[in-house]
Amino acid sequence: MYSKKIVIRYTPDIVQQPVIYQLVKQYNLVFNILKARIFPRREGVIVLELSGSKENFDHGIRFLKEMGLKVEPLSKSVSQNADKCVHCGACTAFCPTGALAFEMKSQKVIFDPEKCNGCELCVSACPVRAMEINLL
């Protein structure tokens, strides 16, 4: 099973078309919407995790590009804003990869970006918004 996170940028003339449905129906791809901002008759963006066979994935990406959509791999980084962080540890309970951990000795939340998968759960969990997502 091949899986990759992508960013799809819609143009106003394509935003009304069932593009994601076609990925499922024609190319047997499974999707998880990570982020979306799509408005009628305007440009839009959707961040997906697509899974399926590598061959179907490649055909699906080709289909999107032929439709005129801009498709890019997801370049996402999560960062910890040290100036905002109060080291409450709320984010650590939501981190599925262990990228965030509370260090007892220093009484601080330690962030390991190498372990981070960019799921964004820490961003919503942080009461002071010290965890930030950067979509590049």
β-bridge mates for residue 49, sequence order: 5, 32
Residue 3 has pLDDT above 60, yes or no: yes
Mean predicted confidence (pLDDT) in 74-94 = 89
Q: Distance between CA 79 and CA 120 in Å, rounded?
A: 10
Q: For the residues 81-109, what does the mean pLDDT come to?
A: 94
For residue 118, is pLDDT > 80? no
Please give the pLDDT value at position 16: 81
Reported pTM: 0.57
Q: With 0-12 CB in 10 A as exposed, 13-18 as middle and 19+ as buried, what is 91?
A: buried
Task: Give the right CATH number for 76-135 from 3.40.1160.10, 3.30.70.20, 3.50.50.60, 3.40.640.10.
Answer: 3.30.70.20
What does the block give as tokens for 36? 């979306």
User: What are the residue boundaries of the structural domains of the chain, listed by start?
Assistant: 2-73, 76-135
DSSP summary character for residue 80 = E
Residue 37 confidence (pLDDT)? 82
E strand map for 1-130: 2-10, 30-37, 44-52, 70-73, 76-80, 100-103, 108-111
User: At 131, is the secondary structure helix, strand, or coil?
Assistant: strand
**pLDDT band at 76; cut points 50, 70, 90:** low
CATH number of 2-73: 3.30.70.260
Domains 2-73 and 76-135 equal at CATH topology level:
yes
Q: How far apart are CA 85 and CA 82, in angstroms?
A: 5
Closest CA to 47 of 6, 12, 14: 6
